[in-house]
Every structure is written in C-alpha cells, then in structure tokens.
Structure 1
Amino acid sequence: MERKIELNKSRQVLTGAGNIPLWVWLAFAAYGVILVCFLQNFASWKSLNVLLGLIALPLVTRVKGLNGVDYRYGICAFVCALLTFFAPANTLLYWAVVFALLFVIEAGIGKLNGMPLLIALLMSPIVRYAADVFSFPIRLQLTRLVGNAMQLAGMDITVHGNMIMHNDNEFAVDQACMGLNMLITSLIIGVMMLAICQQRFNKTLGNRWLIPVMLITLVLNLGSNVVRMICLVAFNILPENPMHDWIGILCLIAYVLLPSIWLMGWLVKRYGSERSVAMPVEISARLSSPFMLLVQLALLITVFFAATVVRKEKAALPDDSSPVPAVAGFTASRFDAGIIKLQSQQSLVYIKHIPGFYSAEHNPMICWRGSGYAFRKIEKKKIAGHDVYTALLDNGSHQLYTAWWYDNGQRSTIDQLSWRWDNLKGSHDYSLLNVTAASTSDMMAAVTNILNQKPFNHILSGM
C-alpha cells in the first residue's frame, strides 16, 4: 500500500494546492502547446466527431485506482515518439501525445478505465480516413445486398457498383450519405451511453467489453443503412428531398440508438460488477519521487523532439517550384509539394506521392469531394489486365469520368493493405494515379495507355 506523505515546502511547489500536483498542470499545458503548434492542421478540431468526443471525455473517464503505479501509457508514448523519428507521421505524433497525457493523468490523479483511450481513437483523423476509404468495399456489399433483397421482393432493380437504379432514378451508397456518415458519431454516442448506463446502475463492465460493444454498434449501424436504403428506393426519395436526410436520422434513432440503450443497459445489469466506494485521490510517495518527475520530463522532451522531426520532414518536401520531368504529349506542372499534374487534350492525370506505408494518401474520393464533385457509379474494373477503380464525377452541372489505382513504377494495385505491406518490406514508394477525362471512352483509352506504355515510370521512380 502506498504510504501517504507530508509535503515539505519544496514538494508543495511540485504539487500546488489541492490533490492534483502542479507538475500535472504544467504537463497538460506543455502537451497542449505541442497539439496547437504541431498538430493544429492534423485534426478537424471543429468537426462534429471531435467536439462530441471532447464532450464525451469527462463523461466516460473514471479513476479506478491509485496514482503512480502503472507505466503502461508511458511505455506506449515512448514507443510512438521513438517510431516518429524513423517514420515521421502526424498519426504517430498524435498517439504519442495522447498516451503521454494518459500517463500524466494516471501518475498524477489515478489509474483510468479504458474508455478515454477509445474516445481518443474515435476522435482521431485516421478513423475518419478509414471510414471514408476502407468502407468502400462495405458500400459495394451494402448496395448488392439491398439490390438483391429488393429484386427478391419483385421490384425492378438494377445494381451498378455503389448505384441502385429504380424507376429511372439513381440511388448511391457513398461516404457522404447520412447513414454511413454517422457511423463514427454513433460509435462515440454508444460509448457515452455505456458510461451513462454504468453510472445509472452503479456497475462497471470491464474493458474487455468495449470491443464487443463497438462491434454491436457497428452491426446495428450497417443494418440501419440497409433499412434506410430500402426505404429511399422503395418510396423513391431522392437526395434533394428533405426526407432523404430525415430518413437517415430516424433509422439511426430507431435501429441504432434505441436498441443500443436497451442492450447496453441489459449488459451492465447482467454482467457488470458492483462499483467500489469512490476514494479521494491521494498524493503518493512514488508520485512525488524524483524518478517519476524525471520520467515525465524525459517523455515530454522526447515527444517535443519527435514533433520537430515531423515538422522538418514536411519542410524537406520539394516545394511547388521544383522541376517536373517532361512527358511526351502532356503538359506537366507541380500542383503542390507531393502532387504532379499532367494534362493532355484528352485527359487530366494527378500523380500523388505517398511518403511511406504509414501515410494517408490523397484519395480521390476525398479530394474531388472537396472540389464540389459527388462520386457516382463507383466500380472496380479490369483494364489492360490491371484492377482499377472507376467513378462518375458530378457537380450538378458538369460530369467527368475518373479512374485511380496505386503504382510505384514496378507494380500496380488497388488494395490498401497490399501496397502498404509491399512498401513496408522495402519496395519503392507508391503513388496514387488518378486519371480523369470528359468521356468514358477517353478515360478508358488514357488508363489503357498508361498501364501498357508506362509513360510516367520515370516520374514514379523519382518520387
């Protein structure tokens, strides 16, 4: 058992007034500066999921043990910070800061439950990115499932990629739809509801239940989207109809939130353990020891230098004025530090360099959406013996046809895990190739020429 100590004047400087040590507040301030100065543009701090996560944090956080007795988060923070020196990525720096903050809390206030870590994960941009990009196969399967179900019901339905055709109208299951767009939000709300149920029944579910709870919420969300798509197609509710979004909200409430409330309440009552009487936080001898303060200071310095490495890596990228290798038949220019733009009379090509296996790429489903275009008829096709993704871009008044894949000059693929694993094993850096044209025939001809003739290999090998 930790012995309680009397604080002399020198230690009172470290602990300050009350039970929370002064060095804890100083550490919070220091890591806050790192977040603001080095990760300001990494996360969408004003997005719904981040704001909801910040609201959820004080609700789901529970101190369940003495402070100063666990170094688990400190070890994780050191590992992430050290990895950042070898793979300078904002994601690693973000997790170094998150783990460091959790380590500070556990050392200065008390041992935490697992929910704050889960909320930090759901708030992170990598989850939003994964929901946008990696959910693409899920959207195709949902489209096929809804189409098959409605065909079995005798409805005249045609399915093309992520599009359902009915009564000459198109219905798309895309990343911008109300249902799938609320996936992360519903997961955060699910964690909040679990915390509320635990407080209501004065019981606690162990951390091992967090993953099953998330999987249940995910399955409910997917089921909600199936019902939503069936309703939209069956009642011919197009995107411009206000009911299009209201159907998504009603399905979220009826098929995700309400079942989650009942199910989580039942789980807490059935499998939860009685909470022990809350004990006031006490300052332990180990907490105010020079060793703990030395570890905290060493971690802060390591995270700070890791942040400077990430910043220097970005500064070392070629600037917009760096020369671009010439390509016959194309006008070449540098769009920004890592993106080369090549334009011919028939097509527009973007070559977007990916610095490493750990990096997020400039996925066209995100970039074109930022330019005001919506993705339609997303499909996987085989062109010139290679798999590529194709889609119709539509901004309401203008349509374009686009295709994309990953290429390093030696190998092409559309599989995220495949190119990342290949790059991790030591292959040359991959780039995302995005080919866009005014017609399907021009786009297909341009892609076929690029895959067969490989006119950009000298650019890919030099990136």
Structure 2
Amino acid sequence: MEKKMELSYPQRMLAAAAQLPIWVWVAFAGYAGVMFFSLHDYIGWQSANVVLGLLALPLVTRITGKNGLNYRYGILAMGAAVLSCYVPANTLLYFSIVFALLFVTEAGIGRINLLPLILAVLMSPLVQYAADVFSFPIRLHLTQMVGQGMELMGMEVTVRGNMILYQNNEFAVDPACMGLNMLVTSLITGVMMMAVNQQRYKKIISARWIIPVMICMVALNIFSNSVRMVCLVLFNILPDHPAHGWIGIACLFLYVMLPAMWLSGWLIKRFGTDLSKMPPVQVSARLTGWGMLAVQALLLVSVSVAATLIKKEKAALHNDQSPVPAVAGFQSTRIDASIVKLQDSSTLVYIKQIPGFYSGDHHPMICWRGSGFSFRQIEQQQVAGTTLYTALLTDGKQQLHTAWWYDNGSSRTVNQFVWRWDAFKGHLPYSLINITASSESELKQAVTKVLNQQPFNSILKGM
C-alpha cells in the first residue's frame, strides 16, 4: 500500500487557500484598495521595515484552528473605524484595516496567531514616528553614558548634546548611529526568529513571552549601539569611512541577532507547547453564516466611509485660506489650516498647531530631513528663561541653526508626554514652534523676540 505523503505547513496553507469562499477574496481586495488609495502617502511602502515585514508575513503567520464565528478582531476594527470618523487620524484608519484583515482571515480561513498583528504594528509609521520623536531624551542620555564610559577608560572626550568630541572630530548619536532604524528592523527580525524557531522545534510559545522578548531586544539594541559608538570614537572612524557601516552591522549581528536567536530558541524549547500533532488547516467550503457575511459587509462599508471622511478632512486643511494676525517685522503666510509661516530677512518661523494629544506634531527632525537636511549638535538649552531644543542643520551646501518647543500661549515645554497629557486633560491646544536662522546669535535673538511678543500668543490661541 502506497504511503501517503505528508504536506508541509506552507503546502497545507496553499491547499486551504484554494478552498476559500469568494467573499474572502472580495474582502481582501476591498481592504487592499482602501489601504492603497487612502494611505499610499502615509505608509512608507519602499522603506526597509515595510518591505521586510511583508516578506516576513507568510513566515510568521500560523493558522491554529478552523474558521468560524470569531468576532474579536471585528469588534476592534469597527471601533477603530468609528473612532477615526471623530478623530481623523491615518493611524486609526491603518489599524482598522489591519484588524479587519485579521477578522476576515479568522472568519474565512481559521484562528490566527499573534505574530502577524505584532508585525503589522512594527511596520506601521507610528513606530517609526515614535522612534524619531520620542528618542531625543534617550539619545542625550546615551551620549552622556558613552562619554562617561570613555572618560573612565582614560580618553579625553567632550560631550555636547548628542555630540561626542574626540581628537577634533565630532561623532553624533543621531537616529542612524543609535540604530533606531535598525531597532525597528531588529524587532521585525526578532519576530521572524521566533517563527523560525517555532517551525524548527515544532512548538509554539505563549503570547505572554512575546513582549518580554521584544523588551530584551530593545535593551540589546541600545547596548549594541553603545559598543558601536565607543568603537567609532576609539578608532576615529568618521561617517564617510566604509568601516562606519560595517561596524554597525557587526555590532547588530553580535550583540542583537545572535543573543536574540538563542533566547527565542531557548524559550520555545523550554516553555513552548508541542505542535507536532497539530491537525491540518481545514476550511469549510460553505459561508460561516449570513450573519457573519452581513457583519463583514458592514465593516467594509464602515472602513471605506472612515477613509473618505479622513481624506476630505485632510483636503479641507490644505484649502484653508483664513487670514493670519499681523506680526510686526514679519511676512505672514498660511500654509494650511494648522501651519503658519512667518519670515523676515534672517529668520524663518513655523507655527504648527497640533489637533490633539493623539496627533503627530510636524516634528522638525522629520520635516527638515524631508527637505534634505541632517541634524547635528542636538541639545537642550535655556533661552530667555525657556527650555528648548536646538540643533545644527546641514545639507552639504548651507548650515542653519534651529530651535523648537511646544507652546499653547500659556505653557511651554519640550516634553512630549507633558504637552500630550495637558492636551488630554482639555487644556488649550499646543503648537510646535520652530525657529530657524543662519547663525546661533541670530537664532537666540529670534527666539527671545518670539517669546516676548504678544502677537505670537494671539496666533497660538487663535489657530
């Protein structure tokens, strides 16, 4: 009697996909269309993290049960879609689509594991935004730690903001040097490692271990980049040297990837649940019920309506032409409903209102980097009694000095958590104030002028 060949997991998945009812494909196509047409400018489709995440998705996805009436992701998707109608944020729309796709998968194919959701979170622009914006205090503390460590080693270094000065050379703990881009990439790779080890040992790890593994990877990444920074300074390797990138890759491999591979493998072997007898994925050829089909249709319509409302809201912001209060000595221009530009012969001032505690804040690092500038010498300073961030902008041809803080006309801060908490409690909405000048002295004069002029407060309270 001929022995029946056992199918591999990918083969079982392909065989199951061939049995999917037509409504599943229609739903997938509908959400893909909404995501492409509504979020094509929001999602960085060509970024390394998104490309890596899409490639990893088939590897980390595991179906562990039959399709059926499981509404957990449907409830989350509907909640995010309804909330995005009142809070027009692309992030809410993104997650409503992600939850909806998971809902379709569980209803049409089978119960899905947690790793695809974690992967979707890591691929989201929200994570990259958090890495860019919330990392300023971390970078400054990391620079201080690295500088103090070098001093203990007997090296004569000077620390200024996020810069380490050694032998007349500057080394910056910027997003690339700190590895924040690599941090997200390493987390995605860590999810892939967990999936590979689960396949390797035929076990699946409980969801309660996933977050501790992610936290360990963040700690390993910070340690890796501290070692990287010491090596760059110790051996005087400047950014234009080929070894600059290779040292970063070597540290990432030695101090992040190898320990993470061992850790995830050990946890899966020690605490994983045996899946060697896991039944093959079975998909019912019939619909899971007219009630489920109606819910799927209602959810697709709700997400589409939310996407339309958000798009109209964004278009209305760009078409706003309301007048700007006059400020003596400045030429005022309204860019859109939330951004005002003030300019004189030597100074450029942007006032960017932030809709709410949940919103992005047009951070200077993101906006200026999009214009081709890089940030150097980032540090906190006191100017006219106000704490603010300052930095040096360079694009290879020119050099500018910039400063920024958050202001609502009554309170000023540089702390992301402080202004978001104030906004959450219902205080006046905050705006980001970004001032740029050609020299440090002109910048400080401009900052003092802005802080002491009442018309600027009028703009803040009237936006």
Please state which band the TM-score falls in when normalised by the shorter chain: over 0.9
Aligned ranges 1:240-259 → 2 under 5 Å: 240-259=240-259
Moved more, 314-323 or 155-164: 314-323
Hey, what does 1:260 align to over in structure 2? 260
Aligned ranges 1:126-165 → 2 under 5 Å: 126-165=126-165
Hey, what does 1:167 align to over in structure 2? 167
Q: Is the 8 A contact 2:49 2:123 kept in 1?
A: yes
Q: What is the SS of the residue equivalent to 1:176?
A: helix
Hey, what does 1:64 align to over in structure 2? 64
Hey, what does 2:43 align to over in structure 1? 43
Moved more, 228-237 or 35-44: 35-44
Distance in 1 between residues matched to 2:157 and 2:240, nearest whole Å: 21
Instruction: Give the residue type in structure 1 aligned to 2:284.
Output: I
Cα drift, residue 300 of structure 1: 1.1
Distance in 1 between residues matched to 2:274 and 2:147, nearest whole Å: 47
Instruction: Give the residue type in structure 2 aligned to 1:347.
Output: T
Cα drift, residue 17 of structure 1: 9.3
Residue 281 (1) aligns with residue 286 (2): no
Distance in 1 between residues matched to 2:67 and 2:399, nearest whole Å: 60
Describe the superposition over 1:104-129 as per-residue Cα deviations: whole angstroms up to 9, x where unpaired.
10111111110000000000000000
Moved more, 430-439 or 194-203: 430-439
Moved more, 258-267 or 38-47: 258-267
Distance in 2 between residues matched to 1:208 and 1:308, nearest whole Å: 37
Moved more, 113-122 or 303-312: 303-312
Moved more, 248-257 or 351-360: 351-360
Describe the superposition over 1:249-283 as per-residue Cα deviations: whole angstroms up to 9, x where unpaired.
11111111111111211111111110142323131
- Count of aligned pairs between the two proteins: 447
Aligned ranges 1:68-217 → 2 under 5 Å: 68-177=68-177, 179-217=179-217
Moved more, 317-326 or 441-450: 317-326
Hey, what does 1:323 align to over in structure 2? 323
Cα drift, residue 336 of structure 1: 4.6
Hey, what does 2:52 align to over in structure 1? 52
Q: Is the 8 A contact 1:179 1:249 kept in 2?
A: no
Q: What is the SS of the residue equivalent to 1:63?
A: coil
Q: What is the SS of the residue equivalent to 1:68?
A: coil
Hey, what does 1:372 align to over in structure 2? 372
Distance in 1 between residues matched to 2:83 and 2:116, nearest whole Å: 23
Cα drift, residue 304 of structure 1: 1.1
Moved more, 235-244 or 170-179: 170-179
Distance in 2 between residues matched to 1:202 and 1:100, nearest whole Å: 29
Describe the superposition over 1:404-427 as per-residue Cα deviations: whole angstroms up to 9, x where unpaired.
011122222111122222222223
Q: Is the 8 A contact 2:404 2:435 kept in 1?
A: yes
Q: Is the 8 A contact 2:146 2:226 kept in 1?
A: yes
Distance in 2 between residues matched to 1:420 and 1:309, nearest whole Å: 25
Moved more, 103-112 or 378-387: 378-387
Distance in 2 between residues matched to 1:374 and 1:168, nearest whole Å: 20
Q: Is the 8 A contact 1:408 1:460 kept in 2?
A: yes
Q: Provide the alpha-carbon RMSD of the alignment.
A: 1.7
Aligned ranges 1:398-409 → 2 under 5 Å: 398-409=398-409
Distance in 2 between residues matched to 1:423 and 1:303, nearest whole Å: 27
Residue 339 (1) aligns with residue 371 (2): no
Hey, what does 1:6 align to over in structure 2? none
Q: What is the SS of the residue equivalent to 1:360?
A: coil
What 5-or-longer segments of structure 2 have no aligned partner?
Answer: 1-15
- Relative to structure 1, the CA distance from residue 28 to residue 17 in structure 2 (aligned partners, 3 Å threshold; closer, same or farther) is closer
Q: What is the SS of the residue equivalent to 2:352?
A: strand
Residue 26 (1) aligns with residue 45 (2): no
Describe the superposition over 1:414-450 as per-residue Cα deviations: whole angstroms up to 9, x where unpaired.
1112222222222332211101112212111211222
Distance in 1 between residues matched to 2:325 and 2:156, nearest whole Å: 52
Distance in 2 between residues matched to 1:404 and 1:204, nearest whole Å: 47
Distance in 1 between residues matched to 2:403 and 2:18, nearest whole Å: 61
Instruction: Give the residue type in structure 1 aligned to 2:193.
Output: M
Moved more, 405-414 or 151-160: 405-414
Residue 434 (1) aligns with residue 449 (2): no
Moved more, 418-427 or 362-371: 418-427
Moved more, 317-326 or 379-388: 317-326
Distance in 1 between residues matched to 2:419 and 2:180, nearest whole Å: 26
Cα drift, residue 455 of structure 1: 3.0
What 5-or-longer segments of structure 1 have no aligned partner?
Answer: 1-15
Distance in 1 between residues matched to 2:313 and 2:333, nearest whole Å: 23
Hey, what does 2:13 align to over in structure 1? none
Distance in 1 between residues matched to 2:318 and 2:28, nearest whole Å: 35
TM-score, normalised relative to structure 1: 0.93
Q: Is the 8 A contact 1:67 1:284 kept in 2?
A: no
Hey, what does 2:9 align to over in structure 1? none
Hey, what does 2:6 align to over in structure 1? none
Residue 413 (1) aligns with residue 413 (2): yes
Distance in 1 between residues matched to 2:173 and 2:109, nearest whole Å: 46
- Relative to structure 1, the CA distance from residue 199 to residue 348 in structure 2 (aligned partners, 3 Å threshold; closer, same or farther) is same
Distance in 1 between residues matched to 2:281 and 2:121, nearest whole Å: 29
Q: Is the 8 A contact 2:202 2:274 kept in 1?
A: yes
Cα drift, residue 57 of structure 1: 0.7
- Relative to structure 1, the CA distance from residue 318 to residue 190 in structure 2 (aligned partners, 3 Å threshold; closer, same or farther) is closer
Q: Is the 8 A contact 1:342 1:348 kept in 2?
A: yes
- Relative to structure 1, the CA distance from residue 373 to residue 203 in structure 2 (aligned partners, 3 Å threshold; closer, same or farther) is same
Instruction: Give the residue type in structure 2 aligned to 1:123.
Output: M
TM-score, normalised relative to structure 2: 0.93
**% same residue:** 59
Cα drift, residue 177 of structure 1: 2.9
Q: Is the 8 A contact 1:77 1:96 kept in 2?
A: yes
Q: Is the 8 A contact 1:178 1:245 kept in 2?
A: no
Hey, what does 1:449 align to over in structure 2? 449
